[in-house]
Amino acid sequence: MNKFFAVSVLVFAFVMPSARSAEQVAPLENTSSHRDWHFFANISYSSRTLDGSITETTAIANDTFGDLVATGDSMNLDTSDTFMYTLAAQYKKWRMGLNYMPTSFSGQGYAIVTLTGNQAGVLAKTPLNTDIDIDLLLGKLTYDIIQTQSSRFGVGVGLGRTQIDLNIIPQVGNSIIYKGYQPFGFLSVYMANNYQRFLYGFNFNAISASFTGVEVGYSDYTIDFGYRLSDKEIKWDLVGGYRLVNFSIDIEDGQNMYKAITHLQGPFIGVSVSY
């Protein structure tokens, strides 16, 4: 969190001198000028934590299975300090956007494993080395049901793709080595408002479905606040907020079955530009 605080101070120090006296501004993602087309970009620094659980079940023999269970706490993972990126284009009430969130964690902790052989069925605690990379890419098409000088409210549909790279290696028991990706679709609801120069809004994405035998659950909550620094033709905003991403997936890979329930969450701060 010290890194996040330091970057926050630097961002404020860099952009705050350009703020001007009070003026009426458009919503967080502006659509108020006479032009039909608008473009938007954002880069934000985020410090995220991972919580949840990862379970592997391996068929050893007939009706005999070995399990490995690890949680976010037991893996003793560090925080993931990375940037998030957003690009969007809007035509009247229609908007198409992309959002990319890379995340990487590592840690040395422990897992609970089921022993085999003479100690079959006995649960034991074993040291664990963990490296987890999760890259989330979202593409979304939205429509503004309400669009005024100071408010936007709408719904949308999207396609997502998550790239998962797991290297979970216990001292005793089978390792979880997995690298793959999973596409999915989702629905979205959002709101963006302004009061003078102050901006606020939320975004919610969700899906729960089965794709080619893989069970996927996804929900994504973002609350953001901002301050309009410049309301000229090219507009600059200082933004910040909090994002929580829940992702669960069940995968069958030969004799192995993986079940991951992850919660990625943390604050962010950044700069947005719109034209």
Task: Tell me the per-residue pLDDT of 98-112, one tens digit each, with 9 for 90 and over.
Answer: 999 999 999 999 998
For 150, phi then psi, to 5°, come to: -125, 5
Longest CA–CA separation in the chain, Å = 77
Section 138-162 average pLDDT: 95
For residue 17, the 8-state DSSP code is: G
Q: Is the pLDDT of residue 124 over 50?
A: yes
Predicted confidence at residue 15, as pLDDT, reads 34
Task: Tell me the per-residue pLDDT of 242-267, one tens digit each, with 9 for 90 and over.
Answer: 999 998 888 776 667 778 888 999 99
Section 49-60 average pLDDT: 80
Q: What is the CA radius of gyration of the chain?
A: 22
CA of residue 260 relative to chain centroid, distance: 15
Task: Tell me the per-residue pLDDT of 13-22, one tens digit each, with 9 for 90 and over.
Answer: 333 333 333 3
Which whole-number Å values give the CA distances from 78 to 45, 47, 73, 168, in the listed order? 16, 10, 10, 15
CA of residue 148 relative to chain centroid, distance: 29
Q: Is the pLDDT of residue 1 over 50?
A: no
Predicted confidence at residue 68, as pLDDT, reads 80
Structural domains in the chain, sorted by start: 2-274 (2.40.128)
List, as one string, the DSSP characters of 183-228: EEEEEEEEEEEEETTEEEEEEEEEEEEEETTEEEEEEEEEEEEEEE
Which whole-number Å values give the CA distances from 269 to 4, 5, 165, 250, in the listed order? 9, 10, 27, 33
Cβ neighbours, 10 Å, residue 208: 12
Which whole-number Å values give the CA distances from 253 to 55, 101, 103, 146, 178, in the listed order? 13, 26, 24, 46, 9
User: Does residue 181 or residue 22 have the better pLDDT?
Assistant: 181
Closest of 256, 245, 269 to residue 50, by C-alpha: 245
Residue type at position 23: E
